Amino acid sequence: MGTRYNAIAGTSAERLAALSDGLFAVAMTLLVLDLRVPALEAIHGEADLRQALIGLAPRVLIYLMSFLTLGIFWVGQQTQLNFVARSDRTLSWLHLAFLFSVSLMPFSTSLMAEYIAYCTALLVYWFNILLLGIVLYLTWRYAVRAGLTSAEVTPMVRRSMERRILIAQGLYGFGALLCLHSTHWSIGFIFVVQAIYAIGPRTGPLSRI
Amino acid sequence: MGTRYNAIAGTSAERLAALSDGLFAVAMTLLVLDLRVPALEAIHGEADLRQALIGLAPRVLIYLMSFLTLGIFWVGQQTQLNFVARSDRTLSWLHLAFLFSVSLMPFSTSLMAEYIAYCTALLVYWFNILLLGIVLYLTWRYAVRAGLTSAEVTPMVRRSMERRILIAQGLYGFGALLCLHSTHWSIGFIFVVQAIYAIGPRTGPLSRI
Amino acid sequence: MGTRYNAIAGTSAERLAALSDGLFAVAMTLLVLDLRVPALEAIHGEADLRQALIGLAPRVLIYLMSFLTLGIFWVGQQTQLNFVARSDRTLSWLHLAFLFSVSLMPFSTSLMAEYIAYCTALLVYWFNILLLGIVLYLTWRYAVRAGLTSAEVTPMVRRSMERRILIAQGLYGFGALLCLHSTHWSIGFIFVVQAIYAIGPRTGPLSRI
Amino acid sequence: MGTRYNAIAGTSAERLAALSDGLFAVAMTLLVLDLRVPALEAIHGEADLRQALIGLAPRVLIYLMSFLTLGIFWVGQQTQLNFVARSDRTLSWLHLAFLFSVSLMPFSTSLMAEYIAYCTALLVYWFNILLLGIVLYLTWRYAVRAGLTSAEVTPMVRRSMERRILIAQGLYGFGALLCLHSTHWSIGFIFVVQAIYAIGPRTGPLSRI
């Protein structure tokens, strides 16, 4: 018969974490390549350079927004992996699918930075966030169902993890819809949602999301 | 006489794993650089941008295929290293040769994305996969023969690891041959093989590969 | 009610360190992309190539300066994290803000390498260093106040960490002011300050900074 | 008085190893960016593409040579760090200087790939290897003298580490001199030396280097 590869492959949660940290680190740093230094030909003095840098402001904002997105999902994945006692092959591949979505982020970000007024670009960006959310949700559901989580994972923790993803995706989806009105509204709304998630208020109505 | 460097060099399996995770992370993220944002000059409205993005679909497919390839070999190498109790200089260099093949992947991927209808490009891509397979096979054989594997490695585990690489490479080789007919058949076949390896069905005839 | 995500998210100081090491590694290596190989068209012999390479000297200097900057802040963050017994969500986000500033460094460096005589470019570069300092200061203050530091952190250690950042930022600020006279004075002064921090003299008046 | 920063900074050998693994991984993968995919305009059939790929052979060779260089120095640094019981600020900075030399490698490699017949390019490449050797030698001497090495480090181990670097640098220096005759001789000689170091023969006269 022979041992099945399924039974022995992908059991190291540490290496999954190391690969994830590496991939997030590269994706976060590649984002900066969209901030292109102004071309020498167009700059004839300090005033020109200041003008050119001020013109970069929307790109800096989108860069910051994508950094926030990756930060939110990095914290989210880390929180999940902290609760995972061991991995298996399926969980490894679900996390690889998650990392695939992470690696698409520099592309979605470039696209939106270049086409900031286009609904199409915003929908691609939103689709990337949706993909991140769906895969992260599935990894969690799978880890719980396959009994890979540690004993600390009470039903309350489990529901907290799931509810959080669903609420966040609901808000992102609403933000994407706003592009029917204007992409600037969408970007503004998504940015605010992300800032709230990053700051994570501890009291008041927002402390529950 | 003096101590021989051979006896003291390259004994850390953890650092080998850390270097590998880093290199895989960079290679996986560099792949996305092939997805180039459409040039501003050619886009005059939402419809143009949608058309241009649809035109990127073959590149996205090849990107996904290369991500699958790297994922499969990452899981494969991880599974091997989990069974390795300690490393030595030769094993370190065999893994470095493996990482060299990994680092070629962004080039092979770019080449195939640019020349999707060329048999030559497909054969370069296949040769890269073959190289990954050969080196991974050699690292395993060496680790077993040099007694570097842990006690869990029964003859069954050993054969399972070897058989898996041989079957996979046989399928990839057949896929490459299909390019005599058309490169699209090759790409389609290799893609399906990789998807099966990634999903890893647990029952039925495919559960044995 | 349900468990609050705030209470369970971002508690792994190890993964924070791993993400940081990855991001610093990428940022440090991306800096080298500013050293562009001389274009083939302009080189007709060994003498031309030597001339072209000598012309790269200012870029090498700025590259070295940015590497020093990143090295100084990497050592600074590592020293902090060594004293942190555990992390929480706020500390994770403060470190992510720190990493955001790190990821801006390749842009600031490119800008200064391209516009070495422009005060505007130097101020952007200085602002990046200031941001790194401010965020690192805040992470430390937060870690101390939230009781996340280990028992070794005596009031003396705490003050030493804070004083160091304040003195360094004072010196960098003075260096930036020098650009009113000439950017070369600024760059020279900041370079010397960084070299002293890197070499870290153990005796004499400079051993206190 | 206050605690001196010198006494508390840079004491984590693990984070030094993690930063190094990340930086080596990025540098190794960036090398592949020199292998540029042939431009679409010049390719009108399979034969053209095959010709263009054959024309890439010298670049592949130089890429492989640089990968070997980085591999050799990665194994060398790892072997040193395995013998280091703890780090301090000076050792951290010596390793950062080593990593700076590592991060220059993609530039030196690009330069040599573009100017393969130029002695100047070869000397820059050699100077980079020399720098790696000098800094690695200094880190080792410092670690030994400062008492940071573990108890396993007998005088024999110490001398073995030092002798190895000196012999290797002697051979590289001789290889660089050969460029007075022709850069191809230099490259060939250095390549063979590196291959011997990588393969590490266990018997015969070469087993001692």
Provide the pLDDT for residue A1: 35
- In tens, the pLDDT along A5-63 reads 666 666 678 888 999 999 999 999 988 888 889 988 889 999 999 999 999 998 999 99
| Closest to B108 measured CA to CA, from B63, B148, B71, B77 | B63
Cα-flanking dihedrals φ and ψ of residue D149, to 5°?
-85, 160
d(CA A161, CA B38): 37
Residues from chain A that touch B18, judged by Cβ atoms under 8 A, are 18
Contact B25/C at CB under 8 A: yes
Residues from chain A that touch B160, judged by Cβ atoms under 8 A, are 2-5, 8
| Closest to D43 measured CA to CA, from B124, B10, B180, B116 | B116
d(CA A46, CA C118): 6
Tell me the percentage of chain A whose pLDDT exceeds 70: 90
CA distance D89 to chain B (A): 22
pLDDT bucket at D160, cuts 50 / 70 / 90: confident
Q: Which candidate in A20, A23, A26, A33 is best for mutational testing of the D interface (most D CBs within 10 A)?
A: A26
Coil vs helix vs strand at A149: strand
| Closest to C197 measured CA to CA, from C17, C73, C21 | C73
Select, from the ranges A83-87, A138-142, B5-9, C160-164, the one with the highest average predicted confidence (pLDDT).
Answer: A138-142
Q: Which candidate in A1, A4, A5 is best for mutational testing of the B interface (most B CBs within 10 A)?
A: A5
CA distance D156 to chain B (A): 5
Residues from chain D that touch B6, judged by Cβ atoms under 8 A, are 200, 202, 207
pLDDT above 90 (res C150) = no
Could you tell me the sign of the dihedral formed by the alpha carbons of C20, C22, C24, C30, in that order? negative
Provide the pLDDT for residue B6: 59
Among chain A residues, the shortest Cα distance to D23 is held by: A22
Contact D75/B at CB under 8 A: yes
Residues from chain C that touch D99, judged by Cβ atoms under 8 A, are 28
Report residue C168 as tokens: 């360094």
pLDDT bucket at A108, cuts 50 / 70 / 90: very high
Contact state of D25 with A25 under an 8 Å Cβ cutoff = no
Range in A79-88, B108-117, D121-130 the model is least confident about: A79-88
Tell me the percentage of chain D whose pLDDT exceeds 90: 61
Q: Which of residues 126-185 of B touch D (CB under 8 A)?
A: none
Q: What is the mean pLDDT of residues D114-128?
A: 94
Q: Which candidate in D15, D26, D29, D33 is best for mutational testing of the A interface (most A CBs within 10 A)?
A: D26
Contact B110/D at CB under 8 A: yes
Provide the pLDDT for residue D2: 39
B/e letters for D23-46, b = 16+ CB within 10 Å, e = fewer, are bbbbbbbbbbbbbebbeeeebeee
pLDDT above 80 (res C201) = no
Q: What is the mean pLDDT of residues D5-23?
A: 79
- In tens, the pLDDT along D168-204 reads 999 999 999 999 899 999 999 999 999 888 887 665 5
Interface size C-D, in CB pairs within 8 Å, comes to 113
Say if residues A166 and A178 touch (Cβ distance below 8 Å).
Answer: no
Calculate the average pLDDT of chain D. 88
d(CA C156, CA C160): 6
Residues from chain C that touch D30, judged by Cβ atoms under 8 A, are 29, 32-33
Say if residues B112 and B176 touch (Cβ distance below 8 Å).
Answer: no
- In tens, the pLDDT along A120-134 reads 999 999 999 999 999
Contact state of D2 with C156 under an 8 Å Cβ cutoff = yes
d(CA A147, CA B6): 44
pLDDT bucket at C4, cuts 50 / 70 / 90: low
Q: Which candidate in A41, A75, A162, A164 is best for mutational testing of the C interface (most C CBs within 10 A)?
A: A75
Q: Which candidate in A14, A103, A112, A183 is best for mutational testing of the B interface (most B CBs within 10 A)?
A: A103
Q: Treating both helix axes as pointing N-terminal to C-terminal, what angle do A119-145 and B46-55 enclose, rounded to 10 degrees?
A: 50
Residues from chain B that touch C26, judged by Cβ atoms under 8 A, are 26
Provide the pLDDT for residue C203: 56
| Helical residues (DSSP H) of chain A, grouped into ranges | 5-8, 13-30, 46-55, 57-82, 89-114, 119-145, 155-177, 183-199
Contact A196/C at CB under 8 A: no
- In tens, the pLDDT along C12-51 reads 788 889 999 999 999 999 888 888 899 888 899 999 999 9
Among chain C residues, the shortest Cα distance to B25 is held by: C22
Provide the pLDDT for residue B153: 85
d(CA D102, CA B50): 43
Say if residues A70 and A98 touch (Cβ distance below 8 Å).
Answer: no
Give the HSE-up count for residue C203: Cα atoms under 13 Å, Cβ half-sphere: 0
Contact state of C156 with D3 under an 8 Å Cβ cutoff = yes
Provide the pLDDT for residue D135: 96
Q: What is the mean pLDDT of residues D111-136?
A: 94
Provide the pLDDT for residue A6: 60
pLDDT above 50 (res C2) = no
Question: Please, what are the averages of pLDDT over each run of 10 residues along chain B (209 residues)?
Answer: 55 84 94 87 91 92 93 92 86 94 94 92 95 96 90 86 91 93 92 86 56
Instruction: Choose the closest CB to A46 out of C15, C100, C120.
Output: C120
Instruction: Choose the closest CB to B28 out of A8, A99, A121.
Output: A99
**What's the pTM?**
0.91
Residue type present at position C66: S
d(CA A83, CA B55): 41
Range in A91-100, B99-108, C197-206, D136-145 the model is least confident about: C197-206
Q: What is the mean pLDDT of residues C61-82?
A: 92
pLDDT bucket at D4, cuts 50 / 70 / 90: low
Contact D70/C at CB under 8 A: no
Residues from chain C that touch A75, judged by Cβ atoms under 8 A, are 9-10, 89, 92-93, 96
For residue B42, count other CB atoms closer than 10 A to its CB.
10
d(CA D98, CA D21): 12
d(CA C153, CA C141): 12
